[in-house]
Structure 1
Amino acid sequence: MNQTLSADRACGTCTLCCRLPDIDALAKPANAWCENCVEGRGCRIYERRPQLCRDFLCLWMTDEGLGPEWDPARSHMMIYRQGLQITVLVDPDFPEIWKREPYAQQLSRWAHEPTTAGQYVIVFVGDAVFKVD
């Protein structure tokens, strides 16, 4: 993953990446807190965390074009790109937030962006999966 960290962005108290994705190297299922996470503070094993965790940066951390409303601690969503797919992991405590503004409009815009032929947006909310049209 060749990502560049935005100079003015920081994880702050957000720990969604410790909860929302599944992390095989830690036997951590999706939507469950990692046993190494201190909620609101971060990783207890930061210096020895798995490579997947070391390499990961959410879109909020790398895309300066995203406004403050996309801060995961505020939006309750963690977003990242995988090739043509934009993946949105929604905090299951806020299952409808991705359907609200300003998020719904932006997700739809990404799904229809003509600059990247074949780009698509997938939203995960708990066990439910949605493709944005």
Structure 2
Amino acid sequence: MPATAPNIENRTCGTCTLCCRLPDIDHFDKPANALCSHCIEGQGCSIYANRPSLCRDFLCLWRTDDSLPPEWDPTISKMMIYEQGPQITVLADPDHPEIWRSEPYRSQLESWAAKAEPSGGYVIVFCGEEVFKI
């Protein structure tokens, strides 16, 4: 399982807004797979400087794990990934529902799941209304 670290300097959000669209965010009454009212698609958060701590504290695995190769950039992989204790959570863009099943993603997700299993961890993938445990 990847280690969580501070954000990597050369990895920025860029034009990615998956964390503003894919998860449900109770603080904003935002359902999953709907763009946050504070997000400008392709640009980012319009309240970035004053965003709430739940947004400020979010650690995208792409931004914190420098072992992930370029194809894991969320703008390429169409997935946002983060750790929750022993669990790795994957939110796959429902506009690209099969991408997490393709290579190189599937084998990496299976590898993370195998490493996490002895300690009770796993990988869980959410894609639209579907949930898959690896």
TM-score category of the 2 structures, normalised to the smaller one: over 0.9
Deviation at 1:57, TM superposition (A): 2.0
Greater than 3 Å deviation, 4+ residue runs = none
Q: What is the DSSP-based 3-state SS (H/G/I as helix, E as strand, rest coil) of the residue aligned with 2:132?
A: strand
CA distance in 2, matches of 1:19, 1:121: 21
Which runs of structure 2 are paired with 1:6-45 in the superposition (5 Å)? 6-45=8-47
CA distance in 1, matches of 2:117, 2:35: 36
For structure 1, the residue ranges without an aligned partner over 5 or more in a row are: none
Q: TM-score, normalised by structure 2?
A: 0.93
Please list the CA deviations of residues 63-93 of structure 1 after superposition, one character each: whole Å capped at 9, or x if unmatched: 0010000000000000000001100000000
CA distance in 1, matches of 2:126, 2:59: 18
Q: What is the DSSP-based 3-state SS (H/G/I as helix, E as strand, rest coil) of the residue aligned with 1:52?
A: helix
Please list the CA deviations of residues 12-41 of structure 1 after superposition, one character each: whole Å capped at 9, or x if unmatched: 110000000111111111110001100010
What value does the CA root-mean-square deviation take over the aligned residues?
1.4
Q: What is the DSSP-based 3-state SS (H/G/I as helix, E as strand, rest coil) of the residue aligned with 1:112?
A: helix
User: 8 Å contact 2:80–2:92 — kept in the other structure?
Assistant: yes
The structure whose residues are more often helix, as a share, is 2
CA distance in 2, matches of 1:55, 1:72: 18
Percent of aligned pairs with the same residue? 63
